[in-house]
Amino acid sequence: MINKQRSLKTEILLRLAIPLIFFISIESVLSYFVTLHHVDVAYDRWLLDSARSLTQEIKVREGKVFVELPPAALEIFKWDESDKTYFKIISEEKGMLAGDKFVPEPFDVETDWTRPVFFDDEMYGEPVRVVSMLITRENTPEKVFVHVAETLNKRRNMMMDILLADLVPQMALVLLAGIYLVMGVKRGLQPLHVLADEIAQRSSRDLRPIPEQHVFLEVRALTDTINDLLERLGLAIATQQRFIANAAHQLRTPLAGLKLQVERAQREQDLSAMKPALVQIQGCADRMSHLTTQLLVLARSEPIDGDYELRPVDLCKLAKETCMDWVPKALQRHMELSFEGLQQPLHVRGDEVLLRELLANLLDNAICYGRDKGNIAVKVERYPSPCLSIEDDGPGIPEVEMDRIFERFYRIPGSPGDGCGLGLAIVKEIADLHKARLSLSSAGETGGVRIELIFKES
C-alpha cells in the first residue's frame, strides 16, 4: 500500500488550526449557556415584577378575596411589542378569579411556595416561561395563587444579539488568524524551499556541505546528518577512485607483458621455440590472477557505507584450518609451519572470509620472504585480549621500512619475488575493518618478523 505524501505545511496548519477551532467551539458553547442563564435571570425578574403588579389588584373585603382589574390596567399589563403575556389568579376556595384558565401551573405537590416558582411550558402551541406565586393575606386564611406566562421572543432576540456580538468578532479573529498562519507557515518554510532548490541544482559530483547560516535550529540536526553523509560519501568515492586508479596502474604491467609474450609466441614456427614465451605467458597470467584476487579482497574490505556486518567467528578453528591449507606450500620451501591454539573455542566478532584472507596473506609473506628451511609459528592466545600472532625467522624488515610496508603497492627495494605490494595493505584494511590493533616487531636478535593482531572482546 502506497502512503500518501504528507505536507509539512499542511501538518503544521492542521496542528494549529484544529486546536484553535476546538477551543473556539468550546468557548461558543460555554458562551451560549452563560448567555442563556443571564438572559433568563434578567427576564425572570421582569416577569416576576409583572406577577407582583397583579398581586396589588387582589383585594379582601369582608373576609372574601376578589380581583379589581380595570381594562386600562389590563391593557397596560399585556402590552408588549414582541411577546404575549398571560395570567391567571386562582383562589383556593373560589377557583379562578381572573385571567386565562389555560395558563400552566406547577403540578409538583412538593413545590416550595415560600418563593416564586419559575418553569418552562407550552401555551397555545408556543413555548412560554411561567412564574407562579402564593399570595397570603393577614385578614383571611384563604390562599391565592398568581400565575403569569410569557412567550420567549424577547429572550431569543436578546440571546441572538449577544451571541452574534460575541461570535462575529471571534469568527473574524479566527479568519484573520488563519490567514496569518497560512502566510506565516509559508514564509517560515521558504528557507527550506530555497535550500532544496540549491541542492537540486547541484551536480552529482558536488558533495560540498550544505550551508547552515540560513538554516533553522530545528533543521540543523537534519543538515548536520546530511553533511556527515556527504563527507563519508566523498571519502568513499575518493577511496574507490584511488583504488580504481591503482588497480588500473597495476594491471597495465602484466597485461602489457602478456600481450608482448603472445606476440612473441605468434612469431615462432614450432612448439619448442614457443615454449619460453608460453612459460612467460603462464607467469603473467598467474601474477594477474593473484593481483586480481588481491584487488577484489581489498575492495571487499572497504564497504562504501562505512559499516560491515560482523558475526562471532571461532578464531582458533579458523587459524588452524588456514595453517593446514598452507602446509603444502611451506613444505615446498622445506619450511616448518607450526600452530599453537587453545582447547576451547575463542570467538571474536568478524567476517570469516576476510579473516582467512588476512591470515593467508601473512602466511604467504612469511613463506615467500622467509629463509629456506626456516620456521613459521602461528599462535592464538586468549589473555589479556584475543590475539593472533605469526612469527618467522627470516631476514626481517628494516626499521626504516616498518612504517611504509602497509601502504598499497609499496615493496621494499630489493625484495625478492614478484609481489605487487598489496598483501600487507590488505591485512591492514581487514584489521581496521575489525577494529583490531595490528602490531609489527622484530622476532629476535637474529631477525625475523612478529605480527600480532589483537581483537576486542566479543
- Asked if pLDDT for residue 414 goes beyond 60, the answer is no
Q: What is the pLDDT of residues 125-149, one digit of tens each?
A: 899 999 998 887 766 677 888 899 9
Q: What is the pLDDT of residues 417-457, one digit of tens each?
A: 555 566 677 788 888 888 888 888 887 666 788 889 998 86
CATH number at 311-454: 3.30.565.10
Measured in whole angstroms, how far is the alpha carbon of residue 453 from the centre of its chain?
Answer: 40
Q: Per CATH, is 217-300 categorized as 1.10.760.10?
A: no
Domain ranges across the chain: 8-158, 217-300, 311-454
Q: What is the pLDDT of residues 292-333, one digit of tens each?
A: 766 666 666 555 444 567 888 999 999 999 999 889 888 988
pLDDT class of 113 with cuts at 50, 70, 90: confident
Q: What is the pLDDT of residues 9-58, one digit of tens each?
A: 777 878 888 888 888 888 888 888 888 888 888 888 888 888 888 877 77
256 vs 35, higher pLDDT: 35
Q: What is the pLDDT of residues 237-250, one digit of tens each?
A: 777 776 676 666 55
Mean local confidence (pLDDT), 65-85? 73
Q: Per CATH, is 8-158 categorized as 3.30.450?
A: yes
Q: What is the pLDDT of residues 327-386, one digit of tens each?
A: 988 898 889 999 998 888 899 988 888 888 888 888 888 888 888 888 999 999 988 889
Longest dimension (CA), the chain: 165
